[in-house]
Amino acid sequence: QMLDLHTCTQCGRCDRVCPAWKTDKPLSPQQLTVDLRDRLNSPPDSDIPLLGETIEDETIWSCTTCGACESACPVMIEYVDKIIGLRQGLVLTEDRYPKEFISAFKSLETQSNPWGFPNASRSNWAKDLGVPIWDKTQPTEYLYFVGCNGSFDTRGKKITEAVVKTLRDAGVDFSILGNDEGCTGDPARRAGNEYLYDMLASKNAQTFKEKGVRKVVTHCPHCFNSLKNEYPEFGSQLEVIHHSELLQKLIQDGKVI
Ligand code: SF4
Ligand code: SF4
């Protein structure tokens, strides 16, 4: 990360693709790099705080963690990990974060979703559809990991129902965890609450292990990224496929027309 800061050519490509910068938020990824580099080169006994002075809180919270800057950067500078690290400093060390996070963190901790819906109602969407619950003695080929949005949000549930219908029409063998599913923890990690992320991810990883889950399909891009790229840290060696990839394969095989 320190080498990253000295590698920047200040070409501005990151700014040109950054949705925060384009919508007048106080975040220029290029300037962030320059400010962090200058800070790194400043005398080690500088008493100017990094958080809140060198880098304003608003700058840190303006990032959507989309990664567009990383894709555009010709020298492959990474931003998201640095910004998440700065957020961890604000949340876990400084105890300073947007007030909206207070209820979201509490809901994630107590109900395993960011909105505070009772976790016991997570699979209510599936009741009338008769979607089977994962049975470790008779596992299906895929576990369909629905995610919080697909379980609780009105529009999200319509997506879930459409995915269920399509998978069924194509003859895919799948089931869901029902109320044993929990938030992947992605919102907590992106918000800098690594402690909460660890708690949520550990619980899901334990569930996968106990139930013998191996192959997962999900329509949620956040769940996909988390389960595929971050859950190996928790011992989950899952084969994770996005529903669009599975549908593409089913179309190629002539199972979806
Ligand atoms: S795109 Fe990369 S090299 Fe160019 S200004 Fe941004 S961080 Fe620096
Ligand atoms: S990851 Fe953050 S800094 Fe990079 S383009 Fe997206 S919003 Fe901007």
What's the pLDDT score for residue 149? 98
What's the pLDDT score for residue 62? 98
**pLDDT over 80 at 183, yes or no:** yes
Average pLDDT over residues 154-182: 96
Q: Is 105 a member of any domain?
A: no
**Is the CB–ligand 2 distance for residue 201 below 6 Å?**
no
Q: Give the rounded percent of residues in the chain with a pLDDT score beyond 90.
A: 91
Say which residues have a Cβ less than 8 Å from residue 80's Cβ, sequence separation at least 6. 63, 65, 67, 70
CATH number at residue 178: 3.40.50
pLDDT digits (tens, 9 = 90+) for 184-210: 999 999 999 999 999 999 999 999 999
Among 35, 69, 38, 64, which Cα is nearest to 52's? 35
**pLDDT over 80 at 234, yes or no:** yes
| Strand-pair partners of 216 | 143, 240
**Is the CB–ligand 2 distance for residue 105 below 6 Å?**
no
Contact assessment for residue 57 and residue 25, using Cβ atoms and an 8 Å cutoff: no
10 Cα–ligand 1 center, Å:
5
82 shares a domain with 16: yes
What is the ipTM metric for this complex? 0.96
Strand order from edge to edge, sheet including 174-175:
174-175, 142-145, 215-218, 239-242
Residue 257 pLDDT level (bands cut at 50, 70, 90): confident
243 shares a domain with 131: yes
136 shares a domain with 83: no
What's the pLDDT score for residue 201? 98
Residue 117 pLDDT level (bands cut at 50, 70, 90): very high
**Is the CB–ligand 2 distance for residue 29 below 6 Å?**
yes
Based on the structure, what is the number of domains in the chain? 2
**Is the CB–ligand 2 distance for residue 32 below 6 Å?**
no
What's the CA gap between 186 and 107, in Å, rounded?
Answer: 14
Q: Is 152 a member of any domain?
A: yes
Mutational pocket test of ligand 2: of 22, 33, 61, 63, the residue with most ligand atoms within 8 Å of the beta carbon: 63
Average pLDDT over residues 126-133: 95
Q: Is 11 a member of any domain?
A: yes
Residue 211 pLDDT level (bands cut at 50, 70, 90): very high
214 Cα–ligand 2 center, Å:
33
Average pLDDT over residues 155-160: 97
Average pLDDT over residues 36-61: 90
What's the pLDDT score for residue 45? 77
242 shares a domain with 127: yes
Question: Which structural domain, as residue segments, surrounds residue 165?
Answer: 118-252
Residue 48 pLDDT level (bands cut at 50, 70, 90): confident
Helices (H), the chain: 2-7, 13-17, 19-22, 29-41, 57-62, 68-72, 80-88, 100-111, 147-152, 154-169, 186-190, 194-211, 221-225, 243-252
214 shares a domain with 132: yes
**Is the CB–ligand 2 distance for residue 64 below 6 Å?**
yes
